[in-house]
Amino acid sequence: MTITAQEALLRCIEHREIFHDEMLGLMRAIMKGELSPTMTAALLVGLRTKKETIGEISAAAMVMREFANHVVVKDSSNFVDIVGTGGDGAHSFNISTTSAFVIAGAGAKVAKHGNRSVSSKSGSADALESLGARIDLSAEQVGQCIETTGMGFMFAPNHHPAMKNVASVRKELGVRTIFNILGPLTNPANAPHMLMGVFHPDLVGIQIRVLERLGMKHAMVVYGKDGLDEISLGASTLVGELRDGQIIEYEIHPEDFGIGMTSSRAFKVDNALESKNIILSVLDGQPGPALDIVVLNSGAALYASDLVASISDGIVLARSTIASGAAKAKMLEFVKTTQELGETNV
């Protein structure tokens, strides 16, 4: 079933859904640059205005995955992505990036997929570069890095070249579009486990059902009720969990896990250097709220990876991984490996 761009725009204006097969064709046209900038902009704003449906987001994510430069990982057991949509306005240090070192240090495999700062003061790419890592690796090199160290970073522009066809439209619009939602759904390594943070409570139920349609094995979508796109210490956190084809939604609170509450303002940074310093202090095991929020999010991701049986067990493992020095050792190993692989690109 096909639909013209004009017909799709009329659907948006009338607040009617664009069906799965129609959305596949429409998204392919957008990704190939076959639509004019005017029509692309109109459709992106139209979808946002009527609110994108689970079916539309799922179809769009499938097409983005189709167009991506894929990373091949042979063993997908305990293979997890930890990612946030961004856009929460908290300007916090790189919690998920720090957690990735803990998760990999604990024995799971991590495929981190990210970009430079857009809405934050320090994106995952900025943070990793500040630590000395090379982010310009090819898909094959990222696969090697994951096989060697248990962790890889995919710099989004390197793996989604077709995004160049919408880059100028998105920049000129300057508002959130479906692409802000799609980023975390389009990991080029197709990790079957995920902890995803979102910027709006409505996205918890939407994104977990999109992940179900995309064939995810065990995933958690979280929204801190203080607005954080992570599991928060400043409020309770909404959770949508998909496990073995079943979805449940619930709330968790830091005190459920023996962790004290702290305002999310405590994690605010102004640049990548400040974020780097906090990352290093956490990996050195310095007690405080930054360590607590990393342990909590790492624990949830370890649970989502199926390396442990519960979030509580994940928190215990995360704490011991940091205390033993394994998390910092993993960071150093990852940085060294990316540098060695990157030298062949010169």
Binding positions for 5-phospho-alpha-D-ribose 1-diphosphate: 84, 87-88, 92, 94-97, 112-120, 124
Q: Are 257 and 315 in contact (CB under 8 A)?
A: yes
Cα-based distances in Å from 323 to 7, 151, 298, 307, 327: 58, 20, 14, 19, 8
Amino acid at 41: A
Q: Which residues participate in the annotated binding site for anthranilate?
A: 84, 115, 170
Binding residues for Mg(2+): 96, 229-230
Q: Give the residue numbers of the binding site.
A: 84, 87-88, 92, 94-97, 112-120, 124, 170, 229-230
* Residue in 49, 48, 57 with CA at minimum distance from that of residue 20: 57
Q: What is the dihedral of CA 341, 343, 345, 346, to 10 degrees?
A: 180
3-class secondary structure per residue, the chain: CCCCHHHHHHHHHCCCCCCHHHHHHHHHHHHCCCCCHHHHHHHHHHHHHHCCCHHHHHHHHHHHHHHCCCCCCCCCCCEEEEEECCCCCCCECCHHHHHHHHHHHHCCEEEEEECCCCCCCCCHHHHHHHCCCCCCCCHHHHHHHHHHHCEEEEEHHHHCHHHHHHHHHHHHHCCCCHHHHHHHHCCCCCCCEEEEECCCCHHHHHHHHHHHHCCCCEEEEEEECCCCCCCCCCCCEEEEEEECCEEEEEEECHHHHCCCCCCHHHHECCCHHHHHHHHHHHHCCCCCHHHHHHHHHHHHHHHHCCCCCCHHHHHHHHHHHHHCCHHHHHHHHHHHHHHHHHHCCC
